[in-house]
Amino acid sequence: MSESRKPRDPRGRPPGQGRSGGASSGRADRGGGQAGRGRREPVRGGSPHGRDRDPRLNSKVDPKYPSAHLADDVVRELHDTARPGKGGILVQVFGEAAAAFAAEDFVETVRLGEQAKHMALRSSVARELLGLAYYRLAKWKEAARELSAFRRISGSTDQNPVIADSYRAMQRPDKALELCDEIDPRSAPPAILYEGSIVAAGALADQERLDDAIARLEKLDLNPEVAEEHHLRAWYTLADLLERRGRFTQAHDLFGAVAAADAGATDAPERAARLSNRG
């Protein structure tokens, strides 16, 4: 698996645990994630609407994971999109799916997420969570399908980097580039913008367009006052491309910068050392 296709949510948090700002506002995991939306801050203690009305919610069968606390607007969306009489159980099932995602049990997330989806086909949060779980399981076609549904329903490009990366895995770099180009640099949160550029560079490299891939990343601000995860990922990807292009000194310096910022996160220390030995 390439560095740019390491499963991630560009937001860095379980979906559904914080949605202030609505479905179309920005988000920063690929992390989806990571993957928050405009940074969505968690709103704890979601509404318990309907919990005492559905027989399943009062059953003695313990869930594998206790239901996660959901933001109030997530709970409202689930109720608004649920099939008649299914609002309460949908909130419970989605909460358990979000908890499974947080525990990195993506098989369980998919099982519960499919249940949630069929109770609310027009729920953007349900389709988003399910798509991210499929992505973490390297089920690229299913991930693209569900996250594309999220994109249509919400009007948001927040998950375009993940959809694009799924198309890369399916040998569709052209489609990946199209999705990355939809991200508006004027309004996208930095983490989403950088993830989109990283995936786009990978798609260009897939087409043997190394110079274009390098140029795509060099358009980013690569000299931040404080380096965040998306900066390190951009440095690493650019260093890899520069090494492939034979620009070893620049690649060495970038691998060294990644290693200095977080030595244990990648193989950047080893790659920097190998390039040093070339001299």
pLDDT > 70 in the chain, percent:
78
Contact 234, 194 (CB under 8 A): yes
CATH number of 3-170: 1.25.40
Burial of 24 (0-12, 13-18, 19+ CB in 10 A): middle
pTM of the model: 0.80
Predicted pLDDT at 51 = 34
Q: Any residues with CB less than 8 A from the CB of 218 and at least 6 apart, and which?
A: 238
Q: Distances in Å between the alpha carbon of 12 and those of 27, 169, 174, 242?
A: 10, 22, 27, 28
Residue 56 reports pLDDT greater than 70: no
CA dihedral 111, 114, 119, 124 (to 10 degrees): 130
The DSSP letter of residue 5 is G
Average pLDDT for residues 64-93, to the nearest whole number?
Answer: 96
Lowest-confidence pick of 2-11, 101-110, 133-142, 265-274: 2-11
Predicted pLDDT at 16 = 57
Q: How far apart are CA 195 and CA 45, in angstroms?
A: 31
Other beta carbons less than 10 A from residue 233's beta carbon: 24
For the segment 211-255, what is each residue's pLDDT rounded down to a tens digit?
999 999 999 999 999 999 999 999 999 999 999 999 999 999 999
Contact 9, 31 (CB under 8 A): yes
For the segment 165-211, what is each residue's pLDDT rounded down to a tens digit?
999 999 999 999 999 999 999 999 999 999 999 999 999 999 999 99
Q: Any residues with CB less than 8 A from the CB of 235 and at least 6 apart, and which?
A: 222, 227, 254, 255, 257, 258
Residue 22 reports pLDDT greater than 80: no
Q: How far apart are CA 119 and CA 100, in angstroms?
A: 18
Q: Which residues pair with 27 in a beta bridge?
A: 37
Lowest-confidence pick of 104-118, 136-150, 208-222, 260-274: 260-274
Residue 92 reports pLDDT greater than 60: yes
- For CA atoms 175, 107, 155, 229, the dihedral sign is negative
Predicted pLDDT at 124 = 98
Structural element, H or E, at residue 144: helix 140-154
Average pLDDT for residues 158-164, to the nearest whole number?
Answer: 98
Count how many Cα atoms sit within 13 Å of the Cα of residue 28 in the half-sphere of its side chain: 13
Other beta carbons less than 10 A from residue 11's beta carbon: 29
Give the start-to-end residue ranges of the domains of the chain. Answer: 3-170
Higher pLDDT, 19 or 71: 71
Per DSSP, which regions of 38-151 are E strands? Answer: none
Which of 209, 182, 206, 207 is closest to 193 using CA atoms?
Answer: 182
